[in-house]
Amino acid sequence: MIKKFRQVKPILFTVLALAVVSCTPKQQDDSEKDFTQYVNPFIGTAFTGHTFPGATYPLGMMQPGPETGNFSWEYCSGYFYDDERINGFSQNRLNGTGCVDLGDLLMQPFSGEKRDDLSSSFDKATEKASPGYYAVELADNEVGVEITTAPHVAFHRYTFAEDKPANLLADFQSGLVWTKDKLFTHVLDNEVTFENDRLITGYTRRTEWVERTYYFAIEFDKPILSSEQLESRDPREKAPRYILTFDMQDDPILQMKIAMSTTSVEGAKKNLAAEVSGWDFDAVHRDAKKAWNSYLSRVEIEGTEDDKVNFYTSLYHLYIQPNNIADVDGRYVGPNREITQSRTGKFYSTLSQWDTFRAAFPMYTILSPEIIADLVNTFVDYSEQKGHLPIWALMGQETYTMISNHSISMIVDAYLKGFDGFDAEKAYREIKRSITESKHYKSDWEIYDQYGYYPYDLIKVESVSRTLECGFSDYSAALMAKKLGKTEDYEFFMKRAGYYRNLFDEETNTMRPKDSKGQWLSPFDPYALAHADSQIGGHYTEGNALQYTWHVLQDIPGLIELMGGKKEAEKGLDYLFNTTQESTVQLSDVTGLIGQYAHGNEPSHHVAYIYSYLDRPEETQRLIRQITTDFYRNKPDGLIGNDDCGQMSAWYMFSAMGFYPMNPVSGELVIGAPQIPKAVINVENGKRFTMEAKNLSEENMYIEKIELNGQSYEKKFITHDDIINGSTLVFYMTNSPKK
């Protein structure tokens, strides 16, 4: 049976051999400049990376690919590398997050007779993935699957067994959900219309992380011969499942295009017509590959094969999102749930702001300045509809996941770096409104201003983390207010930015919960991990006191002074990285431990760089080598934590080049230690920033000296302007620490 199936596909497997990248990239002539050869989409698909190997388009709305599981935290992206069966192929998913949603419109092709279980085993050797492309051979179902995508249109190509019926399970009820029971209740409303024997349209209103409505248009290149609606598995189901059988006309290949829209069926049809009007699968694949090369080529690095794969896969992960959810005509549905015409033609969502403000957004300002104004305008338009800037927006709707409002620092970062194309006064108005008017259940600004912190008896969860992270938002707002000449606002927000001092406990040398009477929490365990979205609760956000004590991004010198000076701060930081005591509670979000430093979660990402402020840069250099070596590997389990929409990846990219934005709105990149021999960033106006690490080796991890533009350089940081104006940064590496 399988032998017969394979015989009808010689052309398909020739395409696979030429077009895809598996875990070991193929060699290619450098003159071709095909950077996709260094992307391994399987990195992070095992352990807790929560990435996926589906087809993607830079910043596109669609991410079609395989689903191997559902109903748990492990399946936030619907895929886990070690699984042995594929349930079907859905059209979108999240990259590296810790929450579940999407997984819309599950399709599963199969040859022959219908079975109760249409999932299929597959040989890993047939599973291939590269930017814009995914392929696999379904052994049980006797179908070869290829998938590519345009921004709003997923394109599937199936090769069926000869002399057997060609069938497709079209499951409109399916979706990624937290529990099996929700599979039957998450769809609130649905409509499916067979417009003719080649076109199916409709919509689904569903709820999981957010409530949203998506519209679709599904088109086939061969007529539907028959359709069978399957019986509901549960009386609560609102959407149908069909078995479609096709008139294959003596051709084993069936092609399917699926367009989606937030606005209407007509919007989906327009997206389909504009982006993929014909049936040339290979041309769509080439376009996606070309689009990915346009982003990947913005940095050219030298190094080992693994260096290149780790770096370019990180860059790839960075641009799977944010996702432009506006139709090709610029219309979208935002948080007011009304159809709105975008002034720019774009409306971005899926930014995971709590994560990405740290390094991903600063990386966007360097590598893709053309999207920054659109992002800021998205934030402002969102805020005008919702009443506050987005906190964690998905498909245009608010999840309220995580804390503070880090859209603020992104806007301020863009403004201070001189980006235009948006109304700065209007943007500032939305910033001020978002952190002074209590519009949602995670604001409570009256309490914050009354006490100068969030008291743990009034704010039951995350009181310490919220205080610290809101302080950075206040600091960011203060900088913008100052530049706009708003002196009173500057003083107000700068005062708030110092509220972190009110939670520093000299006895324990940590940021400790305090109640409304000014009393410290007692008993107090600085190792106790907290997680507001689980039954654990607690006073920190996916972390503990030892980790969050260092979360004063805006004022590391002030924190050091508060701790009693550099020597005392040094003791505390050494303890963080070297303690052998473990937390009494384990959290899946807190991984990548070095002592109690947790690289798998974002609040720790800047901490290794603090040693540079303690006159111990060699310790930063040693730790950067340890983190990049141990926690970023060219393997499916190569990411130590959730990639979180590119933040984990952005940390690696910055750190591999030798610097990191510890204070993301400062325009300063604190020097660490380069991990690759050379990197050239192609910035605007034909300029190039070059980083070179001379004598870099496994032993030579320390910096002997630095030159910037041929001159000796001794500052702790370089600047954003140094990069975008074009300059040459040279590190001379050695095997022994140098002060």
pLDDT of residue 25: 39
pLDDT of residue 225: 98
pLDDT in tens, 697-737: 999 999 999 999 999 999 999 999 999 999 999 999 999 99
What are the angstrom distances between the C-alpha of 90 and each of 101, 469, 629, 660?
A: 12, 36, 34, 36
Tokens of 420: 């235009």
pLDDT of residue 536: 83
Mean pLDDT (whole number) for 166-183: 98
pLDDT of residue 2: 32
DSSP β-bridge partners for residue 580: none
pLDDT of residue 18: 33
Q: Is the pLDDT of residue 23 over 90?
A: no
Q: Which residue has the tokens 């349930």?
A: 87
pLDDT in tens, 536-577: 889 999 999 999 999 999 999 999 999 999 999 999 999 999
Q: Is the pLDDT of residue 501 over 80?
A: yes
pLDDT of residue 28: 42
What mean pLDDT is reported for the chain? 95
Q: Is the pLDDT of residue 478 over 70?
A: yes
pLDDT in tens, 370-413: 999 999 999 999 999 999 999 999 999 999 999 999 999 999 99
pLDDT in tens, 76-116: 999 999 999 999 999 999 999 999 999 999 999 999 999 99
pLDDT in tens, 646-688: 999 999 999 999 999 999 999 999 999 999 999 999 998 889 9
Question: How far apart, in whole angstroms, are the C-alpha atoms of residue 330 and residue 359?
Answer: 29
Q: Is the pLDDT of residue 302 over 80?
A: yes
Closest CA to 170 of 117, 239, 247: 239
pLDDT of residue 693: 98
What are the angstrom distances between the C-alpha of 439 and each of 15, 245, 389, 434, 446?
A: 54, 51, 10, 8, 12
Type of residue at 483 = K
Residues sharing a CB contact under 8 Å with residue 94, sequence separation 6 or more, in sequence order: 50, 76, 77, 100, 101, 102, 350, 394, 645
Tokens of 523: 């008993």
Q: Is the pLDDT of residue 22 over 50?
A: no
**Confidence band for 622, pLDDT divided at 50, 70 and 90:** very high
Question: How far apart, in whole angstroms, are the C-alpha atoms of residue 532 and residue 311?
Answer: 33
Question: How far apart, in whole angstroms, are the C-alpha atoms of residue 738 and residue 734?
Answer: 9
DSSP β-bridge partners for residue 192: 202
pLDDT in tens, 129-163: 999 999 999 999 999 999 999 999 999 999 999 99
Type of residue at 475 = Y
The distance between the two most distant Cα atoms of the chain, rounded to a whole number of Å, is 80
pLDDT of residue 135: 98
Q: Is the pLDDT of residue 3 over 80?
A: no
Question: How far apart, in whole angstroms, are the C-alpha atoms of residue 661 and residue 646?
Answer: 15
pLDDT in tens, 568-612: 999 999 999 999 999 878 888 899 999 999 999 999 999 999 999
Q: Is the pLDDT of residue 1 over 90?
A: no
Tokens of 73: 């935290």
Question: How far apart, in whole angstroms, are the C-alpha atoms of residue 272 and residue 277?
Answer: 6
pLDDT of residue 57: 99
pLDDT of residue 730: 98
Question: How far apart, in whole angstroms, are the C-alpha atoms of residue 455 and residue 520?
Answer: 10
Contact 493, 481 (CB under 8 A): yes
How many whole angstroms from its chain centre is CA 551?
21
pLDDT in tens, 319-369: 999 999 999 999 999 999 999 999 999 999 999 999 999 999 999 999 999
With left for phi above 0 and alpha for psi between -120 and 50, is residue 341 left, alpha or beta?
beta
Question: How far apart, in whole angstroms, are the C-alpha atoms of residue 527 and residue 100?
Answer: 28
**Confidence band for 316, pLDDT divided at 50, 70 and 90:** very high
pLDDT in tens, 435-473: 999 999 999 999 999 999 999 999 999 999 999 999 999
